Chain A
Amino acid sequence: MNRYYLYKSISFFIYLFAQVLIFDKIVIFGTAHSIIYIAFLLTLPIELAIIPSMLIGFALGLGIDAFNNTFGIHAAASIILMYLRPTILSWLTPQGGYPTGVIPRPNIFGIGWFTSYALPLVFIHLLIVFYVEAGGFDLFWHTLLEVVASTIYSYLLIVIIQYTFFTKSRK
């Protein structure tokens, strides 16, 4: 278990730097942003309690904010994401409950399950990020287009990353 925590803390920084140094620069048509650091939050163990997971979301979000000069916007969205995650997970509980120590990944639960788990959460996260960044609803439709395009693009990238780097199921 100690090795798992070490591995998780290293991957925290890998996701943080991959996001701010590489994926923040890849914006398609100035509309679709690639926000992949959410994958770290989505793939935390299922039984992790809600308060520690919100604190982890806060820390990662604040790290992204520091590099992006967005001052707390990503942190605010990440906390809400982590607050809603247990609810969504409980709606999607398979028959017989979750096995202990399991991690919600598409290659363990299947792509259909992962989509219904991750896609709404990514959408809510980006909804908050883009509307707070825009400072209100002045450019409502333009911002909504950005949110929808970014959700699809980021979700695809997250799934590709999951299948590329995590072929074996880790416990």
Chain B
Amino acid sequence: MRSLLLFLYKFRAFITLILLELICAILIVQNSQYHRALFFNSSNRGIASILAISTNVTNYFRLNKINESLAEENARLKNTLKDFKHNPASVRYDTIRKFNYIKAKVIDNSVDLRNNLITINVGSAEGIKKDMGVIGGGGIIGKTRYISEHFTIVTSILHTESMVPAAIKGKVNISTIKWDGTDPYFVDLLYVPRHYVLEIGDSITTSGFSGIFPENIIIGKIASIDLSNDAPFYNIKVKLANDLYKISYVEVIENLQSQELDSLQSQVQ
């Protein structure tokens, strides 16, 4: 017994090291495997309000750029409206309202890590739920992951686990957008079979299959196409339409039919 205690005392530093590392390992694994919202993240109220103050200060210096992007968005919307007035038949619309948009402000953002997360200033009090789509800056941003009462953490499209069903406008309906973890301006387009004829500059949009994003939201344009002799699929790089360095206001998309869709899909499974 005495020698055991002596042994423990002799290696006390090493034992402490192992214990503390175990705690860290549990924290890391819990986050990546079980997607569980823990106390230690930026949806925590205290941490989020400190980040919000800091963003308020830095946004003040970027007002020019924020105004510019809002003006661009306004012009785009007015153009669509004009087309609609001149030629109502050109715009397809459903009589049933499927999606509701909730405005949000980005209070924390990262693009340089391998798994990037974005914190926004709306939460369950504003009706945010898990796995809602987020768009902004003329492109897609990601989907909601951890929700607290007034803040939400969004899995950025620049996250190794992000996958978005995508379509090449007028050509391919089934493909997937995924980030390879290096350049924050480019993503990969996967699973496009080799028999399609593609061109650089083709528009990539959301396909609407997941129910998270409405269809026909612009993701980006094809920047490079590569096809090796024995591969069944193309290697395609897509340049994102929005610059994730610069996003400051985003919209969260609520699918008003998600309950119906979920219950139907669970019946099949």
Chain A positions near chain B (C-beta within 8 angstroms): 17, 21, 24-25, 27, 30-31, 33, 50-51, 54-55, 58, 61-62, 65-73, 75-76, 79-80, 83, 132-135, 138-139, 142
- Contact yes or no, B27 A54, CB < 8 A: no
Check if B91 is an interface residue, CB within 8 A of chain A: no
Are A68 and B110 CB-contacts (below 8 A) given A54-B17, A76-B25? yes
- 12 sample A-B contacts, Cβ–Cβ < 8 Å, listed by A number: A51-B16, A54-B13, A55-B16, A66-B42, A67-B108, A69-B42, A71-B31, A71-B41, A72-B25, A73-B24, A80-B21, A83-B14
Which of A21, A24, A66, A79 contacts B44 (CB under 8 A)? Answer: A66
Pick the interface stretch among B112-120, B125-133, B162-170, B234-242. B112-120
Check if B184 is an interface residue, CB within 8 A of chain A: yes
Instruction: Name which of B25, B40, B58, B181 has the most chain A CB atoms within 10 A of its CB.
Output: B40
CB-nearest residue of chain A to B53: A21
CA distance in complex: A76, B111 (Å):
22
Chain B, range 12-35, C-beta contacts under 8 Å to A:
12-14, 16-17, 20-21, 23-28, 30-32
Chain B contributes a number of interface residues (CB within 8 A of A) equal to: 42
Which of B20, B32, B110, B184 contacts A58 (CB under 8 A)? Answer: B20
Check if B153 is an interface residue, CB within 8 A of chain A: yes
Are A30 and B24 CB-contacts (below 8 A) given A65-B40, A71-B38? no
Q: Which residues of B contact A17 (CB under 8 A)?
A: 50
Q: Which residues of B contact A61 (CB under 8 A)?
A: 24
Q: Which residues of B contact A133 (CB under 8 A)?
A: 113-115
- Contact yes or no, B111 A30, CB < 8 A: yes
Chain B, range 49-70, C-beta contacts under 8 Å to A:
50-51, 54, 58
Check if B75 is an interface residue, CB within 8 A of chain A: no
CA distance in complex: A33, B113 (Å):
10
Which of A27, A67, A72 contacts B112 (CB under 8 A)? Answer: A27
- Contact yes or no, B24 A134, CB < 8 A: no
- Contact yes or no, A21 B20, CB < 8 A: no
